[in-house]
Each structure stands twice: as C-alpha cells, then as structure tokens.
C-alpha cells in the first residue's frame, strides 16, 4: 500500500512510519505550512499535487493519506480529491473532532477512548472507529537489551519513584484564570474538584448528583467562548474539560507531594514548573532516547491520567511497560480491561492507595520485576504498531 504521511513533527511519528514500512507499505512524508485549520489555496495546491499523479488519467497515486490527530483542512482536501484520509487521534480533548468535516465520507478517524468513541457515535459521527494507542516494540526491545547489556543483565536503578508528564500549572490551566465567579458557585465547584481528586475511574462532571446542568449553564455565563461557526463544539463539554484539567493539576501536584514525603522522588516535566517540596524536577526527557531509559531504570513509574481521558489507556501506560518499566497507575476502565492488576501492572484506586502500593513494591524487588516483565510482554503482543496498524489501515 502507498501511504502519504503528514508529518507535523509529532514525537511518535518515526515509530509509526518504521512499523508501516516493516509491514511492507511504501511511506512518503510531507509537511504543511499550517496556520489554523482552514483549507488555504497553498494547502489545497500542495495536497492536490501529491495525491493526483500528473498523467493523462489523473490517477490517485497514493492509497491513503495518514496523520496523527484529525485535521479538518486535510480532510476537506481529501474529500475534494477523493483520497481516503486515516487519522489516529492521541490528544484528548481534541476539539477538531467537532469540525463540520468530521463526517466527510473519505475519513476513517480512530480514537483511543471508548467513552469518546461512543459519544461521537451517539452524535451521529459515522466515520469514527476505536483503537488503543501503540508502541514501536522493535525499537524499545533493542533499547532494553542495550541498557541491560551495559550492566551485565541487571537493572541499575536511577530513581525510586518517577512521574514523567505535564503539571499544567501554566497557561493551560484555564480554571485558575477565571477570577470573577460568584463566591457560592466557586465554593461549590471547588468542593466537587476536591472530591474528584479522591475518586479514580468515575467522572463527577457528567454525574448529575455532583454537577447539574444548572451549574454548567451558570459557568457558561462567566466563561465565554468565541464561536467561529466552523465547528459544532459542545461548549458545555469544554467547561467540563476545563474542570477536569484543574483536577489533573491538583492531583498530580498533591500525589507527588505525598510521594516526596516518603520516597526518593523525581519528576520529568517543564523546567519552569512550580517546585514541589521533596521532589526533584529533572526537566524534559526526549521521547525516543531519554524517556525509555527513565522508565526502564525507575523502580516505580507512576501514571496519573489526564482527567479528560474518561476510560482510555493513556500513551504513557504503554510507553512505560514497553520500556520494561514497572507501573502503578490510577484506575481507568480500559486499563483494567486490557491488563491484569498485580500481574502486568498495578492499579491504585485512590491517591492514598497509590502511596501505599508504592511503599509495598519498593520493598518487594522480585515481585516488582516479574510484573514489569509481564507488562512488557503484554504490550509487545497487543499494543505494538505492527499489531494495531493492520486494523487501522484496513480499507
């Protein structure tokens, strides 16, 4: 199959293209001068020149155009030139999925969260499918072998407890930028935010017992959005995502503070993130080189999911396991569906449970190593690009 791949310098692009080629596909990449998501003459001309072979018959040269995440302007051009467009969405939330172009018949859009998939189908989106996210098992298996060879087959640990991820204590934390909510409304919302931190796997912001429609309507009065008319955005859901992001900000910081009190704890995140007492910020880690080493050589790796991921397996989970790392994760429905708790990874059900299980597994080395071994095996068997791409590329 001939694949035209839109490369926007996403961190996992080369892993995916490598797997495509190992599966026997011909892959050509291209880039665009993307400023927003409108189909400009420049983008239209670029895609037309690529997808239509310049001969008398004007045959389509490629079988499909592929991108990570969904681009409405690419979809519009593909619809215009009758080119199948396959997109695999790893961002959540991803508001371009509310574009009017999402139902273009040429689209095949894959999301990794089953609740998101079901919600899109309920809204009448017929072009959406479901697939968990993937890893390049060949690259990571080789890297693990090289790391272990450096130490005669033994893992030399660099950290006891590690979290790699964004703290969002910056301009992306929109809730803290809202300074004009009525005191009683903000007081109630803050109570729900605090309660949500204590509950893994259940979204209070879609639970009428916690957040009712009247709360969302009142928040909409004070938090305004610009409506361009190009999207069918559910702004009530945007409000909920703002609240979910705030919960993520709070719980990542609070969990790491607890970890820092009891364990040798590090975090890999933006260097300018607000300091956490007892936790050493080691800055950013390159996805393909430094990050797998960090996961492989940390006794305990943590996953604290972004709350807008309602049920899906975050990419961090499979990245950690594929690098041979031991993982303790918050409960997510699909994590519990795909993995055996206590055998392939460890699931925590509250922040306190996460701390307690961290203490336990730090003192049970062999049990921890066996779980990490099993987790890596599961990911290589079920979450490798070479396992999932045939389903995604099956036209």
Instruction: Determine, yes or no, domain membership for 390.
Output: no
* Higher-scoring residue by pLDDT: 59, 376: 376
- Residue 263 scores a pLDDT above 90: yes
- Residue 53 scores a pLDDT above 70: no
pLDDT tens by residue, 163-195:
999 999 876 678 888 888 999 999 999 999 999
Instruction: Record the tokens describing residue 134, joined without a space.
Output: 């993937």
Instruction: Record the tokens describing residue 74, joined without a space.
Output: 């690419």
Q: Is there a single domain that holds both residue 25 and residue 159?
A: no
Residue 95: CB atoms within 10 Å: 15
pLDDT of residue 225: 80
Q: Is there a single domain that holds both residue 144 and residue 250?
A: yes
Query: Could you say which of 116, 131, 146 is where a domain stops?
Result: 131
Long-range contact set of residues 98-103: C-beta below 8 Å, sequence gap at least 24: 98/231, 98/232, 98/233, 98/234, 99/37, 99/70, 99/72, 99/75, 99/230, 99/231, 99/232, 100/72, 100/230, 100/231, 100/232, 101/72, 101/75, 101/76, 102/70, 102/72, 102/75, 102/127, 102/128, 103/127
Instruction: Determine, yes or no, domain membership for 361.
Output: yes
Instruction: Record the tokens describing residue 339, joined without a space.
Output: 């993995």
pLDDT of residue 176: 85
Q: Is there a single domain that holds both residue 126 and residue 150?
A: no
Query: Could you say which of 86, 102, 131 is where a domain stops?
Result: 131
**Residue 227: which CATH number?**
3.40.50.2000
Q: Is there a single domain that holds both residue 207 and residue 346?
A: yes
Instruction: Determine, yes or no, domain membership for 391.
Output: no
Q: Mean pLDDT over residues 130-140, rounded?
A: 98
Q: Is there a single domain that holds both residue 56 and residue 188?
A: no
Instruction: Determine, yes or no, domain membership for 394.
Output: no
Query: Could you say which of 112, 131, 150 is where a domain stops?
Result: 131
Q: Is there a single domain that holds both residue 169 and residue 24?
A: no
pLDDT of residue 347: 98
Per-residue exposure over 374-393, b if at least 16 CB sit within 10 Å of its own CB, e if not? bbbebbbeebbbbbbbeebb
Q: Is there a single domain that holds both residue 228 and residue 308?
A: yes
Domain that holds residue 96: 2-131
pLDDT tens by residue, 360-370:
999 999 999 99
Instruction: Determine, yes or no, domain membership for 222.
Output: yes
Overall domain count for the chain: 2
- Residue 56 scores a pLDDT above 70: no
Contact 46, 80 (CB under 8 A): no
Residue 365: CB atoms within 10 Å: 13
């Amino acid at each position: 199959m001939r694949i035209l791949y839109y490369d926007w310098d996403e961190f996992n692009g080369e892993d995916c293209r490598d797997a495509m080629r190992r599966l026997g596909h011909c892959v050509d990449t291209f880039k665009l001068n993307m400023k927003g998501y409108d189909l400009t003459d420049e983008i239209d001309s670029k895609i037309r020149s690529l997808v239509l072979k310049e001969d008398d018959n004007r045959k389509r040269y490629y079988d499909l155009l592929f991108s990570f995440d969904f681009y409405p302007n690419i979809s519009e051009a593909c619809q215009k030139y009758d080119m199948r467009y396959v997109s695999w969405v790893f961002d959540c939330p991803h508001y371009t999925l509310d574009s009017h172009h999402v139902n273009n018949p040429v689209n095949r859009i894959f999301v990794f969260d089953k609740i998101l998939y079901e919600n899109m189908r309920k809204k009448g989106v017929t072009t959406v499918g479901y697939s968990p996210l993937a890893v390049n098992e060949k690259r990571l298996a080789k890297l693990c072998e090289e790391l272990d060879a450096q130490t005669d087959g033994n893992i030399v640990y660099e950290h006891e407890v590690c979290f790699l991820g964004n703290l969002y204590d910056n301009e992306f934390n929109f809730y803290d930028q809202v300074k004009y909510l009525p005191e009683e409304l903000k007081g109630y919302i803050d109570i729900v935010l605090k309660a949500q931190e204590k509950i893994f796997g259940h979204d209070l912001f879609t639970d009428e017992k916690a957040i009712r429609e009247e709360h969302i309507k009142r928040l909409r009065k004070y938090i305004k959005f610009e409506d361009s008319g190009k999207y069918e955005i559910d702004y009530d859901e945007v409000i909920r995502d703002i609240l979910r992001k705030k919960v993520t900000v709070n719980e990542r910081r609070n969990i790491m503070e607890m970890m820092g009190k009891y364990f040798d704890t590090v975090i890999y995140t933006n260097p300018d993130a607000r300091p956490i007492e007892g936790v050493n910020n080691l800055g950013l880690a390159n996805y393909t080189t430094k990050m797998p080493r960090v996961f492989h050589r940390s006794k305990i790796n943590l996953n604290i999911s972004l709350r807008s991921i309602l049920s899906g397996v975050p990419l961090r989970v499979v990245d950690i396991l594929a690098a041979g790392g031991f993982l303790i994760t918050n409960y997510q429905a699909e994590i519990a569906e795909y993995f055996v708790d206590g055998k392939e990874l460890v699931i925590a059900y509250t922040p306190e449970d996460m701390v307690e299980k961290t203490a336990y597994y730090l003192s049970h080395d062999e049990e921890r190593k066996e779980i990490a071994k099993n987790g890596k095996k599961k990911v290589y068997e079920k979450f490798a690009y070479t396992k999932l791409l045939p389903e995604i590329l099956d036209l």
